[in-house]
Amino acid sequence: MAEGIDGINGGEYHPHKNMTMVSYGFGKFSAEFFTLAFTTWCFYFYESVIGLDGWWVAFGYIIYAVWNAINDPLIGYLTNKPPRGKIAKKYGRRFPYILLGALPWVFFYLIIFAPPNLDPQEYYWVYFLWLTLGSCLFDTFYSMWDVQYQAIFPDKFRGAKERRRAAGIATVVGIFGIALGSLLPGMFINSDPPTRGEFLTQGIVVSAVGFVAIMALLPSMKEDPYMKARYNQSVKYEEEQGSSNFFKDLWFTLKHRNLMAFFLLYFLYQSLAQLMTGSIPYFVDFVLQRPSGEVTLIMAGFLVGALASIPFWIKLANKMKNNQLLILIGGFLLAAATVPFIFVTESKPLVIGGFTLNSFNVILWMVLWGSCLGLFWSLTGPVMADVIDQVVVETRVRKEGTYMGLRAFFGRLAFVVQALTFAIIHNLTGFWEGGAAQKPSAVLGIRWHISVIPIALMLLGTILFWILNNLNPKKNVEIKKKLEELKL
C-alpha cells in the first residue's frame, strides 16, 4: 500500500506541543468572542435600541439561518478540494481558506452595528436589509475559515488523551474569548437607555481584538507532512471508490446514526446557549429592572464557573475514558442548572462592609450554569472527533470539511430557534419594542425564554443522543487501530 508522500506513513501518531494547542485555541477564542457578542447584543440592538419591529428582526435572523442551511455544508464540501498556489503547497490545503475567510469576517461584525441613522418606522426596510445582508456576509466569511479550522482538529490531534488535552487548552483560551465577548461590548454600552454610538464603538473595538486573535491562530493552521500524507492516501481511496457529490455526502450523513446523534445534541445545546445568552439583556432590563451595565457582571459569573470547572472535567474525562457517557451526563446537568432561572424575579445584592455586589443571587446561579457549560466546551471537539474517526474508517475518505460544515449548519439553526422564540413570545405577550418598561405578561415571556424553553430543548437533545449514540470506549480503540492500518 502507498504511504502518502515521500515514504511518510500518515497513520502514525505524532503528538503536538502545548504551544500548538494554545495557538489552535485562538480559533475557539475568535469564534466564541464574536458569537457571544453577536448573540447577546444584535437582536437587542435592532429591536430595543433602533426600535425595529421584532418580527422584522426575526425575519432577518431566519433568512440568515436559511442562508446558513446552504452556506455551511456547501462551503465545507467545496473546500474539501485543495486550492492551488504556493501558500496551499507550503502551509496545507486549508490555510488559504482560513486567510480568505477570517480577515473579512472580523470587519463585518462592525458593519452590522453601523447602520445609517434613519426613522425605523419609515425606513424599516433599510434596517431589515442592513441586518440581513450584513449578517449573511458575516456568516459566509465565518464559515469559510471556521469549517477548515474545525476540520483540522480530528486530523491534527490523533490520540484520545491528546484530543482531550488539546480541547481543554483550546477551551481555556476560548473562555477568554467568551469573557471578552460578554464583558468587552458591555463596557461601552452603559447608558440608560443605551445609544447607537456606544454600539458603534464596541463594534470597532471587537473587530480590532478579533483581528489580533486571528493572527495568533495562524501558526497552528499549518499542516505537517503526516497530515498531507493522510490526505493523499484518502484521495487514492476515493479514486478507487469512484466519484461522489454533495448530495450523496449529505444523504450519507443523514443516515449515519452517530453523526445524527451528535448533530441533534449539538443543535439543541446551541439552542439553549443562544436563548440563555440572548435573553440576559432583556432579563436584566425588564425582569430584574437593573441598569444594562449589570449584564457584564452576570455574564462574568458563568465565565468564572466555566473556567474553574474545565480542569475538573478534563481530569474526569481522562479517568472515565468515555467521552460519550460524560457528555450525556453533562446534558442533564446543564438542563438542571437552568432550572433556577424559572424562579428568579429580583436582584439581591451582597453587601460586605462598604462593598456591594449587585445581582449576587443571579451571578451565583450563573456560576453554577457556567460550570456545567464548561463540560460541553471541553468535550464537544473530542466527541465529534470520535465520530469522524468512525466515518473515515467506514468510507476510507477524509471529508472533515463536509461534516464540519454540516455541524456548523446544525449549530446555526439555533439562531432560528432564538429568533422565532423571541418573536413569538414577544408578540403573544405584548412586548413593547423600544420601551423602557414592559407589562407583566411580557416580563413573564422573558422568563420563559431564559428558562423553560431552553430546559426543554436541552433535555430533548440529551435524550435523543442517549437513544441514538452507540459509540463506546471499546469501539473507539478498535477504530483507532483501523485508522493506523489504513494509514489514514
Can you say whether residue 100 is alpha, beta or left, with left for phi > 0 and alpha for psi between -120 and 50 degrees?
Answer: alpha
On average, the pLDDT of the chain sits at 85
C-alpha grid cell for residue 132?
A: 440581513
- Least confidently predicted of 127-136, 173-182, 197-206: 173-182
The sign of the CA dihedral 133, 138, 142, 144 is positive
Select the highest-mean-pLDDT range: 68-82, 237-251, 337-351: 337-351
- Bridge partner residues of 350 (DSSP): 357
Q: Looking at residue 198, what is its pLDDT?
A: 92
- Least confidently predicted of 85-89, 175-179, 279-283, 410-414: 85-89
- Beta-carbon contacts of 232 under 8 Å, excluding residues fewer than 6 positions away, are 4, 5, 10
Torsion of CA 240, 241, 243, 248, to 10 degrees: -160
CA 477 to chain centre: 28
Mean pLDDT of 403-424: 84
Is pLDDT of 324 > 90?
Answer: yes
Compare 296 and 305 and report the one with higher pLDDT: 305
C-alpha grid cell for residue 72?
A: 455551511
Is pLDDT of 488 > 60?
Answer: yes
Q: Looking at residue 194, what is its pLDDT?
A: 82
Distance between CA atoms of residues 68 and 346, nearest Å: 38
Q: Which whole-number Å values give the CA distances from 361 to 65, 94, 248, 366, 367, in the listed order? A: 35, 46, 51, 9, 10
- Least confidently predicted of 119-123, 267-271, 342-346: 342-346
Distance between CA atoms of residues 305 and 373, nearest Å: 8
- Bridge partner residues of 352 (DSSP): 355
Is pLDDT of 13 > 80?
Answer: no
State percent of the chain over pLDDT 90: 32
Crossing angle of helices 400-429 and 246-255, rounded to 10°: 70
Q: Looking at residue 369, what is its pLDDT?
A: 93
Q: Looking at residue 240, what is its pLDDT?
A: 65
Can you say whether residue 8 is alpha, beta or left, with left for phi > 0 and alpha for psi between -120 and 50 degrees?
Answer: beta
Instruction: Tell me the three state secondary structure of residue 472.
Output: coil
Provide the pLDDT confidence category of residue 112 given band limits of 50, 70 and 90: very high
**Amino acid identity of 239?**
E
What's the first-to-final CA gap in the chain, in angstroms? 12
Q: Looking at residue 4, what is its pLDDT?
A: 41
Distance between CA atoms of residues 202 and 187, nearest Å: 8
Q: Looking at residue 77, what is its pLDDT?
A: 76
Instruction: Tell me the three state secondary structure of residue 352.
Output: strand
- Bridge partner residues of 357 (DSSP): 350
Distance between CA atoms of residues 468 and 484, nearest Å: 27
In terms of Cβ atoms closer than 10 Å to its own Cβ (0-12, 13-18, 19+), residue 248 is: exposed
Whole-model pTM above 0.75?
no
The sign of the CA dihedral 140, 142, 145, 147 is negative
Is pLDDT of 129 > 50?
Answer: yes
Q: Looking at residue 406, what is its pLDDT?
A: 81
Provide the pLDDT confidence category of residue 487 given band limits of 50, 70 and 90: confident
Q: How do residues 14-65 score in pLDDT, each as one tens digit?
A: 677 889 999 999 998 999 899 888 878 898 899 889 989 888 998 898 898 7
Q: How do residues 351-391 score in pLDDT, each as one tens digit?
A: 776 666 677 888 899 999 999 998 988 888 889 889 988 98
- Beta-carbon contacts of 122 under 8 Å, excluding residues fewer than 6 positions away, are none
Q: How do residues 240-299 score in pLDDT, each as one tens digit?
A: 665 566 677 778 877 889 999 999 999 999 999 989 888 988 888 888 888 777 887 888
C-alpha grid cell for residue 341?
A: 432561572
Distance between CA atoms of residues 69 and 405, nearest Å: 10
Q: Looking at residue 456, what is its pLDDT?
A: 96
Instruction: Tell me the three state secondary structure of residue 215.
Output: helix
Q: Looking at residue 44, what is its pLDDT?
A: 86
Is pLDDT of 472 > 50?
Answer: yes
Q: Which whole-number Å values give the CA distances from 353 to 70, 301, 349, in the listed order? A: 57, 22, 12
Residue 346: other Cβ atoms inside 10 A: 11
Q: Looking at residue 127, what is its pLDDT?
A: 94
Select the highest-mean-pLDDT range: 58-72, 129-143, 410-424: 129-143
- Least confidently predicted of 238-242, 320-324, 354-358, 441-445: 238-242
Q: Looking at residue 241, what is its pLDDT?
A: 64
Instruction: Tell me the three state secondary structure of residue 220.
Output: helix
In terms of Cβ atoms closer than 10 Å to its own Cβ (0-12, 13-18, 19+), residue 340 is: middle
Distance between CA atoms of residues 456 and 394, nearest Å: 34
Provide the pLDDT confidence category of residue 172 given band limits of 50, 70 and 90: confident
CB 61 within 8 A of CB 52: no
Distance between CA atoms of residues 231 and 227, nearest Å: 6
Q: What is the CATH number of domain 18-486?
A: 1.20.1250.20
